[in-house]
Each structure stands twice: as C-alpha cells, then as structure tokens.
Chains A and B, each alone.
Chain A
Amino acid sequence: DVKVTQSSRYLVKRTGEKVFLECVQDMDHENMFWYRQDPGLGLRLIYFSYDVKMKEKGDIPEGYSVSREKKERFSLILESASTNQTSMYLCASSLGLSNQPQHFGDGTRLSIL
C-alpha cells in the first residue's frame, strides 16, 4: 500500500513566521502535489512537482513556495504566514502516467494566529 506521510497533524503558528510543511511518500511516485482544502471550495492545487527539483504552479501559488530535493519528499513553505493561510493542507502523490489516482496523506490543519 502507498503511504503518504505528512509531518504534522496540527500546527499553530504566528503571523509573519516562515512555516514548513513536510510530506514523504514511500512508493517511488514521480508526481507530488500540495493542496489546500477549505469548506465549500473543494481541494485547490497550490504546487505540483513531476520530478526532483521540478515544480509547477497550481491555481493558488501566491504566498507559497515548494522544494523537492529528493524524489520521496515534497515540502511546502509559507514564506511569511498570514491569517488567510489558515486551512487544511493535503499532500498527494501519483505515478507519472495519465489518469492515475492520487494517494493522499491525512492532512495538516494549520492555524495562523
């Protein structure tokens, strides 16, 4: 079974802090994704990576950056956290083929005070 592990289930940070969310997958998947989930809005793609050191902006990349130095690890960085970034963050991975399912971690609920 594919396992996608997010480093924290809950995180509380202060406005202006630099925040790191970590995600690790154990199935050698090429693709990794970061989403945020807000009520009534579904999942919105922040960033996508299809290979080591490769990244592509999603629909809402403003205020975020990412890092993928190793195939199994994809990090989301909030450069200067703001209260409107309070949300549930979900990491996912998939094979680098068409129409593949995405495998999700259990999410990090981030609160910015």
Chain B
Amino acid sequence: TQLLEQSPQFLSIQEGENLTVYCNSSSVFSSLQWYRQEPGEGPVLLVTVVTGGEVKKLKRLTFQFGDARKDSSLHITAAQPGDTGLYLCAGAPPRDTDKLIFGTGTRLQVFP
C-alpha cells in the first residue's frame, strides 16, 4: 500500500511568517495534488503538479514536485489568517491514475 506522510501534523504561526509543509513517500506518483479543507467543508483543489521538479505558484503559495516524483512541498510566504485550514496532499498511483492516495494532513492555524 502506498503511503503519503505529511509533516508537520500541526502548525501554529503568527501572521506574516513563512512556512513549509512536506509530503513524502517511498513510492512514485503520476501526479501530486494539494487540497485545502476548511471547517465544515470538503477539500478544495489548490494545484496539480505532474512533472518531476515542477514548481507552481499560486499567489503566496509555491508548490514543488520532487525530481523523482516521490515527494512534494508547499511553501507559504507571509501567511495570513485566511490561510488557516487543513492542507492535504494526494498522489495518483501510476497504475491507477483515477484514484488518489491522501496524505495524513497538516492543520495550519495563522493568528493575527
């Protein structure tokens, strides 16, 4: 069974700080997606990365897919209270790309 480990599990920071969330596996994925989930809602897609080494930026969020397509990171610059939520990475297995394996999640709290 493929697993995706996220770290840290919890992160509590002040507004304006930078942070990085890691998503690691020993398995290769066809693509890697990042979702954010807010209380009382389902996860919402932030980005999909497909190519090893790919970097995508979404305003203050920078996503990177590892060269070997086994890991990914999410970096947030100058965090804001609106960034608060549960961040989930999800990988598509190469032989079953309709499905996703979800990471364990990182709960981020940004205080004003």
List A residues at the B interface (Cβ < 8 Å).
4, 9, 31, 33, 35, 40-45, 48, 50, 59, 90, 92, 94, 96-107
A100 to B57, CA, bound (A): 19
Against A, the Cβ 8 Å flags (1 = close, 0 = not) of B31-67 are 1010000001111110010100000000000000000
Quote the shortest CB–CB distance from A5 to chain B (angstroms).
11
- B104–A98 CB distance below 8 A: no
Tell which of B30, B43, B48, B90 has the most Cβ of chain A within 10 Å: B43
Taking a contact as CB atoms closer than 8 A, the residue among A99, A101, A102, A105 that contacts B97 in the complex is A99
Known: A40-B9, A92-B42. A100 touches B98 (CB 8 A): yes
| Contact partners of B22 in chain A: CB under 8 A | none
Known: A40-B104, A99-B30. A48 touches B99 (CB 8 A): yes
A97 to B31, CA, bound (A): 13
Quote the shortest CB–CB distance from A45 to chain B (angstroms).
7
Known: A31-B98, A50-B98, A96-B98. A42 touches B50 (CB 8 A): no
- B98–A106 CB distance below 8 A: no
- A101–B33 CB distance below 8 A: yes
Quote the shortest CB–CB distance from B4 to chain A (angstroms).
8
- Please name the residue on chain A nearest to B42 by beta carbon: A104
- Please name the residue on chain A nearest to B107 by beta carbon: A39
| Contact partners of B90 in chain A: CB under 8 A | 43, 102
| Contact partners of B103 in chain A: CB under 8 A | 42
- Please name the residue on chain A nearest to B104 by beta carbon: A42
B79 at the interface (CB under 8 A from A): no
- B97–A98 CB distance below 8 A: yes
Known: A4-B42, A59-B1. A102 touches B104 (CB 8 A): no
- B45–A101 CB distance below 8 A: yes
Tell which of B40, B44, B100, B104 has the most Cβ of chain A within 10 Å: B100
- A104–B43 CB distance below 8 A: yes
- Please name the residue on chain A nearest to B50 by beta carbon: A99
